[in-house]
């Protein structure tokens, strides 16, 4: 008997004949009996669980000659036409081939006509998730308020693809996968109607392979019955469907127990030679680990949970003590996680062999991993880690002698916090730094000699700041931290002090003091009792290089820095004129290419070396 004949001949025609789905059947049967029909229904669930079948039965119950009724009679003209798919008021639409907005518009236009023969006009849209978003939007108003005597039934296997606006307008019923026992009862009833002898173990094997789908179980049954044998046997089912037998799983467990690589390779060869379905084999292997875990935990009390014949269940009960509980649990988890990797691999046979070897040698692999982790060098706590030292202090013999000169006095707080404390008041209200230094008590140095100074100035100044190569007189030697006034090490950075000095000058100018605004963009650093100022350009240098300007700066610096001398330095680099910079840019190859290809023209520019353009 072909699969098509078997599924068609035994398609349920009444709610009571449908296998499973008791809740859905009860709700729809009551709705048909009380004539309380919703505008739209949404049936979702996996393949072959009765969505379209129940939709047709519901349509027959609504249009039956005996309606309103909870079950169709299947004898009247309306029931027969709906069964044959010829009723004018029951329209079945394939959502995959009628998914556009034009199809939705034609459907909406046909809804306006009243039922011609029956009581209700029923539209069954199968695979409704294939409709486009525009088609869904076109049906929103129709689904919410259809004309009287019209109802929609949307069937889908992927309800997550539906817009929430559609789902909210439908009564949503989720169809569950059938249990193994429900499938067994359904297949047994069909075999009895066919008057075909069968082995109950063979029927259960088909039901297990169907994985909750009635249609799949019917297809598998028709495939096995096509062999033509008088009796349905387990061997025939395994041979035709490529299913692994229990003896194969016992062989796998024996090989894993003894960690026999040759035996495991032989199992792989047997699977390939027999054409065993690898997906079903992995599913059954996971179920085997689950059974062993239950037996390890509950013993004989877990036997009813195995869904196995009594003889096979006792064999697994005897095998369970030979595996450690942790090993069984780990193998169960790895098998479930490895199913997708094996089935999607380019080499499924090799991936399956690797999985079985990993399961067999899992105790050794875990021990090896633990051993390698234990021999790794332990990490030292942060408090025991050695303090990094400067390479010069270890390689040069003069380092110990220079260390006392380079090691500054320790700071009671980090420099950035000192800057924050000093910024709590405006600069013009703070006391001059030289007075703060006199009031601060000296702190004994406890820093290791190998630590570098925090903000110590360089041993030799560059020429532009009054070094040996500069034409101006060199500044006095910088006092070391071991003698003299060491409080300068506790001051903020030169950049911060200089910016505050400029702000103080600006505030003094705003309150009627002497103007020092031409100090802007110059840089200043203090070394000892001398404030060194480097001009930003030649023009600024000429403005500052006179007796009056130097006197103003010296008086203000004495109030702020506590210094008595001011040294003015020429700019480090000469600022080029605007025309010189423009000629340089226009002579650039990239600029010339833009000018030739695109006719570009240089209008204006800004250069970082040109202070007047900032």
Q: Does residue 90 register a pLDDT over 50?
A: yes
pLDDT (tens digit per residue) in 249-266: 888 888 888 888 888 888
pTM over 0.75: no
User: CB-based contacts of 327: which residues, under 8 Å, 6+ apart?
Assistant: 362, 363
What would the mean pLDDT of 352-359 be, rounded to a whole number? Answer: 89
Surface-to-core class of residue 130, CB atoms within 10 Å of its CB (0-12 exposed, 13-18 middle, 19+ buried)? middle
Across 49-53, 81-85, 502-506, 580-584, least confident range: 502-506
Q: Is the dihedral of CA 493, 496, 502, 504 positive or negative?
A: negative
Q: Does residue 406 register a pLDDT over 70?
A: no
E strand segments, 414-560: 523-527, 530-534
Nearest CA to 222 among 191, 195, 180? 191
CATH 3.30.300.20 placement within the chain:
504-569
From the CB of residue 211, how many other CB atoms can be counted at a distance below 10 Å?
17
pLDDT category, 436, cuts 50, 70, 90? very low
What would the mean pLDDT of 228-251 be, rounded to a whole number? Answer: 79
At 509, list the tokens.
């100018």
- Residue 518: predicted pLDDT: 66
pLDDT (tens digit per residue) in 151-172: 999 999 988 889 999 999 999 9
Give percent of the chain above pLDDT 70: 72
CATH 1.20.272.10 placement within the chain:
246-365
CATH 1.10.8.60 holds for 180-241? yes
Identify the residue with better confidence: 580 or 354: 354
Q: Does residue 368 register a pLDDT over 70?
A: no
- Residue 396: predicted pLDDT: 40
Separation between Cα atoms, residue 437 and residue 484, nearest integer Å: 12
What would the mean pLDDT of 277-285 be, rounded to a whole number? Answer: 86
Domain formed by 21-174, architecture: 3-Layer(aba) Sandwich (3.40)
What would the mean pLDDT of 298-320 be, rounded to a whole number? Answer: 81
CATH 1.10.8.60 placement within the chain:
180-241
User: Given the DSSP bridges, would you call strands 197-198 and 40-45 parallel, antiparallel or unpaired?
Assistant: unpaired
Identify the residue with better confidence: 429 or 25: 25
E strand segments, 32-149: 40-45, 90-94, 121-126
Surface-to-core class of residue 243, CB atoms within 10 Å of its CB (0-12 exposed, 13-18 middle, 19+ buried)? buried
Instruction: Compute the mean pLDDT over every residue in the chain, rounded to the nearest whole number.
Output: 75
What fold, for 504-569?
GMP Synthetase; Chain A, domain 3 (3.30.300)
| SS3 label, residue 393 | helix
Helix then strand then coil, in percent of the chain rounded to 5, is: 55, 10, 35
Identify the residue with better confidence: 275 or 340: 340
- Residue 64: predicted pLDDT: 93
Identify the residue with better confidence: 296 or 466: 296
Across 196-210, 352-366, 373-387, 560-574, least confident range: 373-387
- Residue 434: predicted pLDDT: 46
User: Residue 122: what are its φ and ψ, rounded to 5°?
Assistant: -115, 125
- Angle ∠(43,48,53) on CA atoms, nearest 5: 60
CATH 3.40.50.300 placement within the chain:
21-174
- Residue 522: predicted pLDDT: 80
DSSP collapsed to 3 states, 519-555: HCCCEEEEECCEEEEECCCHHHHHHHCCHHHHHHHHH
- Residue 596: predicted pLDDT: 77
Which CATH number among 1.20.1260.10, 1.20.272.10, 2.60.200.30, 3.90.1520.10 corresponds to the domain 246-365? 1.20.272.10
Q: Is the dihedral of CA 412, 416, 417, 419 positive or negative?
A: positive
Separation between Cα atoms, residue 495 and residue 454, nearest integer Å: 15
At 468, list the tokens.
């040996």
Q: Does residue 42 register a pLDDT over 90?
A: yes
- Residue 420: predicted pLDDT: 45
């Amino acid at each position: 008997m072909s699969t098509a004949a078997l599924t068609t001949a035994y398609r349920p025609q009444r709610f009571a004949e449908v296998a499973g789905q008791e809740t859905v059947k009860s709700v729809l049967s009551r709705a048909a009996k009380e004539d309380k029909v919703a505008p739209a229904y949404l049936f979702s669930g996996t393949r072959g669980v009765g969505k379209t079948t129940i939709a047709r039965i519901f349509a027959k119950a609504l249009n039956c000659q005996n309606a309103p009724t909870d079950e169709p009679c299947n004898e009247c003209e309306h029931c027969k036409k709906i069964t044959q798919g010829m009723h004018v008021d029951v329209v079945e639409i394939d959502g995959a081939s009628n998914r556009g907005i034009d199809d939705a518009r034609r459907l909406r236009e046909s809804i306006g006509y009243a039922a011609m023969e029956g009581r209700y006009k029923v539209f069954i849209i199968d695979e409704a998730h294939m409709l486009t978003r525009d088609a869904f939007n076109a049906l929103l108003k129709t689904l919410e308020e259809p004309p009287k005597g019209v109802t929609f039934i949307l069937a889908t296997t992927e309800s997550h693809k539906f817009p929430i606006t559609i789902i909210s307008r439908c009564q949503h019923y989720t169809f569950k996968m059938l249990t193994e026992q429900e499938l067994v009862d359904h297949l047994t009833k069909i075999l009895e109607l066919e008057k075909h002898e069968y082995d109950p173990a063979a029927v259960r094997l088909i039901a297990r392979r169907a994985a909750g789908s009635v249609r799949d179980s019917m297809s598998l049954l028709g495939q096995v019955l096509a062999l033509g044998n008088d009796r349905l046997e387990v061997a025939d089912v395994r041979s035709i469907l490529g299913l692994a037998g229990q003896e194969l799983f016992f062989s796998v467990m024996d090989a894993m127990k003894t960690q026999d690589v040759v035996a495991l390779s032989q199992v792989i060869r047997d699977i390939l030679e027999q054409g065993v379905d690898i997906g079903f084999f992995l599913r059954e292997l996971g179920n085997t680990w689950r059974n062993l875990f239950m037996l390890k935990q509950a013993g004989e009390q877990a036997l009813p949970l195995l869904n196995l014949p009594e003889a096979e269940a006792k064999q697994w009960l005897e095998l369970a003590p030979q595996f450690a509980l942790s090993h069984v649990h780990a193998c169960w988890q790895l098998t479930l996680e490895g199913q997708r990797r094996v089935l999607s691999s380019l080499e499924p046979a090799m991936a399956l062999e690797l999985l079985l070897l990993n399961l067999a040698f899992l105790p050794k692999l875990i021990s090896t991993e633990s051993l390698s982790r234990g021999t790794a060098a332990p990490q030292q706590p942060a408090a025991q880690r050695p303090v990094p030292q400067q390479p010069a202090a270890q390689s040069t013999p003069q380092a110990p002698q220079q260390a006392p000169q380079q090691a500054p006095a320790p700071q009671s707080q980090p420099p950035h916090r000192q800057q924050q404390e000093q910024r709590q008041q405006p600069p013009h209200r703070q006391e001059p730094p030289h007075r703060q230094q006199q009031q601060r008590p000296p702190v004994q140095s406890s820093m290791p000699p190998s630590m570098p100074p925090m903000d110590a100035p360089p041993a030799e100044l560059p020429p532009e700041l009054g070094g040996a190569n500069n034409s101006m007189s060199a500044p006095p030697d910088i006092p070391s931290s071991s003698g003299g006034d060491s409080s300068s090490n506790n001051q903020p950075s030169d950049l911060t002090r200089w910016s505050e000095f400029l702000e103080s000058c600006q505030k003094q100018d705003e309150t009627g003091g002497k103007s020092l605004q031409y100090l802007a963009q110059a840089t200043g650093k203090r070394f000892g009792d001398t404030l060194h100022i480097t001009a930003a350009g030649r023009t600024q240098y000429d403005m500052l290089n006179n007796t009056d300007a130097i006197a103003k700066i010296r008086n203000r610096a004495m109030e702020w820095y506590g210094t008595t001398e001011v040294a003015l330095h020429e700019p480090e680099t000469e600022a080029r004129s605007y025309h010189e910079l423009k000629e340089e840019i226009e002579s650039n190859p990239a600029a010339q290419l833009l000018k030739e290809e695109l006719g570009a023209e240089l209008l204006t520019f800004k250069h970082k070396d040109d202070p007047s353009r900032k």
